[in-house]
Amino acid sequence: MDEIFDAIIVGAGAAGLTAGIYASRAKLSTLILNEGAVGGQMVLTEEIANYPGVPTTKGYMLANNMKMQAKSFGCKIKSNVKIAKYELEGDVKTIALEDGRTFQGKTVILTPGGRPRSLNIEGEDQFKGKGISYCATCDGDFFTGKEVVVVGGGNSALEEAVALTNFATKVTIVHQFDHFQAFQHAIDEAKNNPKIEFIMESELRGFYGNGQLQKVSIEHLPSGNLSALKTDGTFIFIGYQPNTEDLNCIVPLNERNEIVVDSGMKTKVPGVFAAGDCINKRYRQVTTAVADGTIAALSVSEYLRG
């Protein structure tokens, strides 16, 4: 008979790897199934400078350290797999892969992560991590004394723009409408900040530079006119997409397609937990994902003890 794991973790980002560390160290037989490269969003981050107790490090290095730590406690990791089907009801959960393999577990921790919404315009992929960022908290200090652009008009965009003025000498907000979708206090704070300027009814059309981002192309929507703006960096805040497309009708999702969990990272499905960027929460950082993964693994241990 095939092994029935105590815990199967879906996803090997910060939350999944942390859950793997905690679960396997608690002597639970643990398997991580990961559809892409181990590390999730961490491996897309050039430098991580705010992880407590760790000097500035490369994202992929932190991810690799977590991976090796999980494996040292006996956690099994299978990467570059594609999940075809989830069967999460009942005492034993089954996850089937497209290659025909199936794995069974007494519990499942869903940590598929998420991704910032992209503009999908020329140069975006080329300059990710080379001037384009999706996280002011992560990368703001790299733009100390420089000029940056912020794209978006919601709460996140305006709040992060204000936060960036602690580092940048100038922040230009580019927004597609003639009004913002943020709360009034966020709008007022941004408009009252002398370092912030606004380009309204406009959208970015391209990113350009030589190895590093140097300028953006902006279209004024009412007129169709294009202009170039020199910039040292661009922060994009147009929303966030949890990687939960395959989980609809399997676990409860909210209106933003985030997995709904309680404070113990439990879903409404008995024995199924979730953690990290895929769940209903406000802040998404490596540290918050690590905390979620810790809680999920501890909850799994408690659940299995009955």
CATH no. for 4-115+240-305: 3.50.50.60
Percent of the chain surpassing pLDDT 70:
99
At 45 the pLDDT is 72
The whole-angstrom separation of Cα 50 and Cα 47 is: 9
Average pLDDT over residues 47-74: 92
> Can you give the pTM of this predicted structure?
0.78
Q: What confidence tens digit (pLDDT) does each residue in 197-218 have?
A: 999 999 999 999 999 999 999 9
In sign, the C-alpha dihedral spanning 94, 14, 289, 136 is negative
CB 45 within 8 A of CB 89: no
Q: What confidence tens digit (pLDDT) does each residue in 230-282 have?
A: 999 999 999 889 999 999 999 999 999 999 999 999 999 999 999 999 999 98
The whole-angstrom separation of Cα 274 and Cα 280 is: 10
CATH 3.40.1740.10 fits 118-236, yes or no: no
Fold agreement between 4-115+240-305 and 118-236: yes
Query: How many Å is the maximal CA-CA distance in the chain?
Result: 68
Domain coordinates in residue numbering, the chain:
4-115+240-305, 118-236
Quote the tokens at residue 285: 């950082």
Separation of first and last alpha carbons in the chain: 24
